[in-house]
Structure 1
Amino acid sequence: MSLEAADVSHGYGDETVLDGVSLSVSPGEVVAIIGPSGVGKTTLLRLLALFDAPDDGTISYDGEDVWRVAEDRRLAYRRRIGMVFQEASLFDASVRRNAQYGLRVRQAWPDRIRHEFARLVGGQNGTGDAIDALETVGLADKAEQDADSLSGGEAQRVAFARALAYDPDILLLDEPTSDLDPRNTAVIEDAVAEARTEGIGVVVATHDMHQARRVADRTAVLLGDGIIEVDRTERVFDDPRDDRTRKFIDGELIY
């Protein structure tokens, strides 16, 4: 299932943040959005996550404009999209319960009721997918540990597992490794690669251009209020068509 923003604009009050932005992600593809802090990367991810409606333009899921369908259908689309924020924001519960959270809240109510009934009556706790996701980020051995005892990097890995456990079609990552040490960064980047092999489309907003080179099939450069260039990652970095891209990559453009 592909997700696409087409000529979208969005702002807050009188301030325009994005103007005429287009970007898509396909199954099994990793797309990086690079640009300086405050340029609108998070705003674009929120539009793609269907949290906010664009002021202009369209957000399409598998070719259907999600803001022109019934609310229950849009909610069904939203449940197929996972998002990991810059801050992990875990609950005061075990690592396993945190990883399971998305499995519960993203289910439609009838499915959620059946899940709880099976858990209470049959002893099924639905941990399989959550444990698999924790295994992907190297934390299955800490499943029963209190989340409050984790390091910041481990907490972010749990947040990634929480989004991955539901087996989303699309995974959106907002600066997922901005404050992490190299080891935790490598684990999450490996998990991104694993998601790609599972056919999940991934969009990573990052200010780390080296990370974009490592993980992304395509890279979009967001400067000002729009995307000035999007293409294969190797070409964007090695042979940019827009001179502003070259200057940004070389550190000549200061924001």
Structure 2
Amino acid sequence: MLTASDIYHGYDGEPVFENVSLSVTPGEVVAIIGPSGVGKSTLLRLLALFDAPDRGAVEYDGTDVWTVSERRRLELRRRIGMVFQEASLFDASVRRNAEYGLRVRESWTDRLRREFADLVGQRNGTGAEIEALETVGLREKVDQDAASLSGGEAQRVAFARALAYDPDVLLLDEPTSDLDPRNTALIEDAVLKARDREIGVAIATHDMHQAERVADRVAVLLENDIIEVGPTEGVFESPTDDRTRKFIDGELIY
């Protein structure tokens, strides 16, 4: 379990959020909704262990990650995958991009074996990166240059790259914000497949219909706090906080 407990974080003395608590458990999808600029991306960066909160704790299986050694924190960070809003791919094949996370987590011996197999052409059509590409519907493009992909295909490769090393937790920052319906549907399907593999998924999205489609729980981030969190149907159909209702109905203007 990945948990943020009573975290405060801000910039230049101004809080982004205060006393925020949220957990991501295995085999569930948590959607974080809220207006642009409210701090959804910042919250994901804290959960990804990129940044430390100013106050409060981020815990991984009960361990406060900012009280352990840097080496131990790196080990924990490597159990977390993150997909950003913009896909950043290397100038290489789709396969090389999809397996990048695997390579950096391998021992030097295993990495050299992989590089040698590439050099002599002994790689076959199997492996975790191939399974991940199949999950996002890109198995047939495994040898294609990543630079030739469409924007939606590139984002699906970025998703496969995070999925290939079988993380415990997968964090998604507006992963479909600029995508067409087909690519959006394929990524949403991959999110549900990740959940079925007992991966905990947190997705920050401004698309409330997407949250309804994929999330088991929804957290509403407004006014420097998570004002409500609960089962998706309950949050959308009978929210306990009137601000949630107004936000969902479009009555709150930012």
TM-score (norm 2): 0.96
Aligned equivalents of 1:121 and 1:215: distance in 2? 41
Aligned equivalents of 2:40 and 2:84: distance in 1? 12
Residue 244 (structure 1) aligns with: 243
Residue 14 (structure 1) aligns with: 13
Query: What's the secondary structure of 1:168's corresponding residue?
Result: coil
Aligned equivalents of 2:229 and 2:23: distance in 1? 10
The Cα RMSD (Å) is 1.3
Query: What's the secondary structure of 1:68's corresponding residue?
Result: coil
Residue 53 (structure 2) aligns with: 54
Alignment-mate amino acid for residue 112 of structure 1: S
Q: Please state how far the C-alpha of 1:115 moved relative to its aligned partner.
A: 1.3
Query: What's the secondary structure of 1:67's corresponding residue?
Result: coil
Q: Identify which of 103, 109, 112 aligns with 1:117.
A: 112
- Structure 1: 5+ residue runs without aligned partners? none
Residues 195-238 of structure 1, C-alpha deviations (whole Å, 9 max, x = no match): 00000000000000000000000000001111000000000000
Q: Please state how far the C-alpha of 1:71 moved relative to its aligned partner.
A: 1.0
Aligned equivalents of 2:210 and 2:53: distance in 1? 28
Q: Please state how far the C-alpha of 1:154 moved relative to its aligned partner.
A: 0.5
Structure 1 residues 115 and 243: alpha-carbon distance in aligned structure 2, compared to 1, 3 A threshold: same
TM-score (norm 1): 0.95
Alignment-mate amino acid for residue 166 of structure 1: Y
Aligned equivalents of 1:57 and 1:96: distance in 2? 40
Alignment-mate amino acid for residue 234 of structure 2: R
Query: What's the secondary structure of 2:87's corresponding residue?
Result: coil
Aligned equivalents of 2:94 and 2:127: distance in 1? 14
Residue 201 (structure 1) aligns with: 200
1:80 is the counterpart of 2:79: yes
Q: Map of 1:25-174 to 2, 5 A cutoff?
A: 25-105=24-104, 107=105, 111-120=106-115, 128-174=127-173
Aligned equivalents of 1:211 and 1:179: distance in 2? 13
- Structure 2: 5+ residue runs without aligned partners? none
Alignment-mate amino acid for residue 60 of structure 1: E
Q: Map of 1:199-238 to 2, 5 A cutoff?
A: 199-238=198-237
Q: Please state how far the C-alpha of 1:242 moved relative to its aligned partner.
A: 0.2
Aligned length: 250
Name the % identity.
73
More displaced, 118-127 or 174-183? 118-127
Residues 3-50 of structure 1, C-alpha deviations (whole Å, 9 max, x = no match): 000000111112210111000010001000000000000000000000
